[in-house]
Structure 1
Amino acid sequence: MSKKVALITGATGGIGFQVAKRLGNDGYTVVLNGRDDEKGAACLAELKDAGIDAEYVSFDVTDDEAVNKHVAAIGDKYGYISVVVNNAGGLGGRSSMEEMSTEFYRSVMALNVDSAFFVSRAAIPYLKKTTGGSIINCTSNAGWNAGGPGAGIYGVSKGAVHVLTRALAKELAAAGIRVNAVSPGTIDTPFHAQIKATKPEVFASWKDSILLGRLGEPEEVASVVAFLASDDASFITAETIQIGGGQALGI
């Protein structure tokens, strides 16, 4: 079989782009997914300038029909998919449970849970066409601690991704497909741009709850994703690796 092919959702910034860059540097053909075509073009240009074999595909990961169409097109083009990184997701805003609208609830669950399920489901037939296929989901520290103020449903959604990871691992083990997840703590990415800009003292204080005394970098998450995708992790499945500098323990 020729070059490994990796599909990374939400790959036009932050952790997703660093994953694409790392896997590309490791020799993969990387397929970036996103919805901001301008950012997608800029990311693609940067990867190609670095000699990485890459393409950008725009589709909404919460739209099952769009996912089925585009994932099938990717799989048919290359003949297989080696690795899927379900990185797309987000906070979606903040709301108390008491005041939360059904629309908001469903939008957060769709962005974080539906997306991972839809993309995985569509990719499974193409992962089965390769040897050592792998799915890597992105959960969050919020999936363990139930999220910060107004982010409870985000925590619920990321907890669901943790269980989805284990369920997929059970189902796909017989096909030789491994399924794992990474659970980033507080990583210095545009995800936190608003609070970083408006309340820098609060943003700076977050490191105080991290055993290693600093925030994480997206490259540090990408390196763990690359490990899980590699043959070095050939006997690892159904695991969620926390990448938070000990943040889950608190101080």
Structure 2
Amino acid sequence: MENKIALITGATRGIGLAVAETLGREGYKVILNGLLEDEGQKVVTDLKNNGIDAELYICDVTDEKAVDKMVNEIGTKYGHIDTVINNAGGLGGREKFEGMTTEFYRRVMALNLDSTLFVTRAAIPYLKNSKNLPSIINYTSIAAYNGGGPGAGVYSAAKGAVLTMTRSMAKELIAYGIRVNAISPGTIDTAFHSATNKDIMESWKSGIAIGRFGESKEVADIISFLVSEKASYLVGEVIQINGGQAYL
């Protein structure tokens, strides 16, 4: 069987890096996308030192042409892509709707929604070439269901759109044997929340049934399941990973 190729966007830190580590240990060649060359190369070196076959591509996933170039280079080099993890995303800061700049709105939508479309669209021809149960994992968020925290309204809207897009993609792409699913993380302990006051973050724990924040590895393990044969009958599904945060 040919080597399994996983493309993971925004993979040089946080959840994306945990996914790369997990899939890498399971035999995937992991292709990490990031923005910073020095940071990315250090991460790839660390992965290789731990026996993981890893490669780095520097690319801004909000740049349509750059994404096409990156994905086509990967697809041409390996002939196929087996798994696409659309991990790149973020708050982009916090702004209330009143006084929100159009530039901020477009930046947040581009980072979370446009990137998902650009990477997926470019990868489809190479996913069709996969013989390893090809799949796509998108990232929505608990914010897509509850409207998000203060100043995160546009982020929640973008993640709501990703949720709907996931189901549309799933219906369209299953005809080619490509499964599309999504995860919906709650509050995961990563640098993602660096723009949030620490005292405010601590107060959020009272709203999480399990009483703590999630860990990146816990998200990565669910993704590992979703791309595996164990999840071969899951199509268009959204898995909540929030420690019961949605139920209090």
Q: What interval of TM-score do these two structures reach, taking the shorter chain for normalisation? A: over 0.9
Query: Match of 2:134?
Result: 133
Query: Match of 1:172?
Result: 173
1:138 counterpart letter in structure 2: Y
> SS of the residue aligned with 2:246?
coil
Query: Match of 1:34?
Result: 34
Query: Match of 1:117?
Result: 117
Q: Which stretch shifts more, 65-74 or 90-99?
A: 90-99
8 A contact 2:29–2:54 mirrored in 1: yes
- 1:81-109 Cα distance to aligned partner (Å, 9 max, x none): 00000000010111111211111111110
TM-score for the superposition, normalised by structure 1: 0.96
Q: What is the alpha-carbon distance in structure 2 between the residues aligned to residue 73 and residue 232 of structure 1?
A: 30
Q: What is the alpha-carbon distance in structure 2 between the residues aligned to residue 207 and residue 70 of structure 1?
A: 39
2:29 counterpart letter in structure 1: T
Q: What is the alpha-carbon distance in structure 2 between the residues aligned to residue 246 and residue 63 of structure 1?
A: 36
Query: Match of 1:88?
Result: 88
Q: What is the alpha-carbon distance in structure 2 between the residues aligned to residue 162 and residue 137 of structure 1?
A: 8
1:169 counterpart letter in structure 2: A
Q: What is the alpha-carbon distance in structure 2 between the residues aligned to residue 108 and residue 64 of structure 1?
A: 15
Query: Match of 2:243?
Result: 245
Query: Match of 2:207?
Result: 209
Runs of 5+ in structure 2 lacking a partner?
A: none
Query: Match of 2:50?
Result: 50
Following superposition, the deviation at residue 194 of structure 1 comes to 4.2
Report the CA distance shift for 1:123/1:89 in structure 2 as closer, same or farther (over 3 A).
Answer: same
8 A contact 2:93–2:195 mirrored in 1: no
> SS of the residue aligned with 1:186?
coil
Q: 1:64 aligned to 2:64?
A: yes
**Runs of 4+ with >4 A deviation:** none
Number of equivalenced pairs: 247
Query: Match of 1:185?
Result: 186
Q: What is the alpha-carbon distance in structure 2 between the residues aligned to residue 174 and residue 216 of structure 1?
A: 35
Following superposition, the deviation at residue 42 of structure 1 comes to 1.4
1:216 counterpart letter in structure 2: G
TM-score for the superposition, normalised by structure 2: 0.98
Q: What is the alpha-carbon distance in structure 2 between the residues aligned to residue 201 and residue 169 of structure 1?
A: 39
Query: Match of 2:228?
Result: 230
Q: What is the alpha-carbon distance in structure 2 between the residues aligned to residue 203 and residue 102 of structure 1?
A: 28
